[in-house]
Amino acid sequence: MANTPQSEKRARQSEARFKINKMRRSRIRTFLRRVEEAIASGDNAAAREALRQAQPELMRGVSKGVVKKNTASRKISRLAARVKATGAAVAPAANA
């Protein structure tokens, strides 16, 4: 329980930041899930488009302090590799 006006204000600010950051994390997870679903469906074009939309969202989370830079870079890199592999799997099927 906050005892001073300053601690009451800090508690209010902390609660407000928590809500905003929770919303941002949820939005990032939604974009990542869309990429995962597109990869699972095997649709390379949809996966590339979903990744193209997810990248700036992740980097926005970095700039807002919700996600660490290395974490965002790692997720983008791994998703990009999986999207690329989806395209490689589709290409031989098109040639056959």
Q: How many domains does the chain have?
A: 1
pLDDT, tens digit (0-9, with 9 covering 90-100), for 27-49: 999 999 999 999 999 999 999 99
How many angstroms separate the Cα of 45 from the Cα of each of 13, 41, 84? 42, 11, 10
Per-residue pLDDT, averaged over 54-63, amounts to 97
Confidence of residue 95 (pLDDT cuts 50, 70, 90): low
Pick the closest to residue 79 from 34, 23, 41 (CA basis). Answer: 34
Q: Supply the pLDDT for residue 41.
A: 94
| Whole-number CA gyration radius for the chain | 19
> Would 68 be classed as within a structural domain?
yes
Would the pTM of this model clear 0.85, i.e. be above it? no
- What six digits make up the tokens of 54? 């997810």
The CATH number linked to 20 is 1.20.58.110
Asked if the model's pLDDT at residue 94 lies above 60, the reply is: no
> Would 91 be classed as within a structural domain?
yes
Q: Supply the pLDDT for residue 1.
A: 77
At CA 81, angle to CA 57 and CA 70, rounded to 5? 50
> Would 42 be classed as within a structural domain?
yes
At CA 76, angle to CA 71 and CA 80, rounded to 5? 150
> Would 1 be classed as within a structural domain?
no
CB atoms within 10 A of CB 35: 25
